[in-house]
Amino acid sequence: MHTVTWKKGTDTKLDNLFTSLRKERYLDTSHRLYKNYGDENFLSTTPIALTICFDDNNIPEVCSSIAIRNCWPNNVYRIHNRMWKASNRKPYVRRLSDSVGYATLSQIDWLKSNTNCELCFISRQTETWENWLMSNLNEHFGCNFKSDNHKYLTCPNECDQTCWQKIIYMGDERILEKWQRR
């Protein structure tokens, strides 16, 4: 298994593979969030880096991006942005899949090497996911994610309730005070 995270637009072969996998995901209308993977919705999140985790047979298993938005404080990045399983779609009820864990580590390392990241976070529209994901990433992959009781503005439309999401985060907690939250 190996994971690659690269700046969008710097590797044509990987960019094309990622786009092909994303479009394939978009065409699967059975998934409740399939629209997130269309050009307009995916690009609206301003992805700055892309990630693919390959299995031992070099088959893409997990894909996601790192994103920035103007509604977040400076030097704050969302990892796991628009994450999906390209293959191996088995649910991991008790433990996070290695591919998701390695994708997380790859994105954190990329941010450390290529940005002035002060805080990175993961968010989801659903409820009750954060403790499970946080404990799996912290226990099995050596991360140091934390959470709090707030919902943060994750997209520019503060009237849209889906834009207010729980997050897990790593980094300078003082940044959270600069972020619109409820």
Q: Kindly list the structural domains of the chain, giving each domain's residue range(s) and its CATH number in brackets, ordered by start.
A: 2-178 (3.40.630.30)
User: Whole-prediction pTM value?
Assistant: 0.89
Q: What is the mean pLDDT of residues 55-67?
A: 92
- How far is Cα 170 from Cα 156, in angstroms, rounded to an integer? 22
Phi, psi of 50 (to 5 degrees): -120, 150
pLDDT above 70 coverage of the chain, percent: 85
**Burial status of residue 97 (CB atoms within 10 A of its CB: 0-12, 13-18, 19 or more):** middle
- How far is Cα 182 from Cα 179, in angstroms, rounded to an integer? 10
pLDDT at 21: 86
Q: Give 123-138 pLDDT, tens digit per residue.
A: 987 777 899 999 999 9
Structure tokens at 83: 């994450």
Asked whether residue 62 carries a pLDDT value surpassing 70, the answer given is yes
